[in-house]
Amino acid sequence: MFTDSHCHLSFPELRAQLPDILAAMQAAEVDRALCICTTLEEFDDVHSLALEHPHLWCTAGVHPDNEGVQEPSLEDLLQRAALPRVVGIGETGLDYYRLNGRSLADMAWQRERYRVHIEAARQTDLPLVIHTRSASDDTLSILREAGGFASAGEGGWPQARGVFHCFTETEAVARAALDLDFYISFSGIITFRSAADLRDLLRWVPLERMLIETDSPYLAPVPHRGKTNSPAYVPFVARQIAEVKGLPVEAVAQATSANFDQLFTRVTPFQPQVINELI
């Protein structure tokens, strides 16, 4: 019933207990999960999870905050995107939270990495998984600049599309993302007592433009906050959305799973009941 649109099952704290996690997912009715790649060095592990388990898929990309790792070229991303069960590009974007004494000008390497991912997404027509932290203005401006249609001489590749994952930004950023036809994904943060503003924001985000995620092993939702997160906890995110919007949790589960299919078109389609019967 539920789909976790963003998790890190290749990370050691989860990979070591994978059989238990998969069993917990089944018990919680979490039918599918997208395993997110954060470095090229990690890709083979992430990809193997998707190849070995029919309800897991993966992405190809390098997280904006990862330094001292192999820098992805366009060809690196295109080659990996062509492999079976790779359904998206990322996670990518910009993260200025830890400048460590550097200026924004010093972060040009992040912006160039982001542009490479956008171009890979356009050439493959795969969705971007976007991470943005303390960098929303640049994240949006580069997406607008680099994500549009190419001229005929450049190949005419599709416009970039995707999802702003683990959304914690302002209403203005949310509206800009929606205007670009991106989806917005909410994590366990929406269950935190301190997240009242975020719950107010999700109240008006259209259900048909919404995904749910855990970002596990991080950000476990209440009542598991402070523990290692798992895709089995994504129903708590759906329940919080259902409470805020005054909907049955089944409606949120089915809508967000259908949205996942609409965005990640290489995924085997989910077969929901008629959502309107529940809303």
pLDDT in tens, 210-238: 999 999 999 999 999 999 999 999 999 99
β-strand partners of 162 = 128
Q: What's at 150, amino acid-wise?
A: A
Residue 235's Cβ-side half-sphere holds a number of Cα atoms within 13 Å equal to 14
Return the CATH number at 130.
3.20.20.140
**pLDDT score at 268:** 74
Phi, psi for 94 (deg, rounded to 5): -140, 145
Cis ω before 223 (30° cut-off from 0): yes
> Rounded to whole angstroms, how far apart are CA atoms 58 and 62?
13
**pLDDT score at 156:** 64
Name the residue among 153, 179, 177 with its Cα closest to residue 166. 177
277 DSSP assignment: G
Residues with pLDDT less than 50, the chain? 150-153, 272-279
Q: How distant, in Å, are the alpha carbons of 193, 231, 272 from that of 163?
A: 25, 18, 21
92-129 confidence digits (pLDDT tens): 999 999 898 999 999 999 999 999 999 999 999 999 99
- Count: domains in the chain: 1
Q: What's at 235, amino acid-wise?
A: P
Please, is 239 exposed, middle or buried when counting C-beta atoms within 10 Å of its C-beta (0-12, 13-18, 19+)?
Answer: middle
Residue 70's Cβ-side half-sphere holds a number of Cα atoms within 13 Å equal to 12
Domain hosting 106: range is 2-277
Contact 31, 59 (CB under 8 A): no
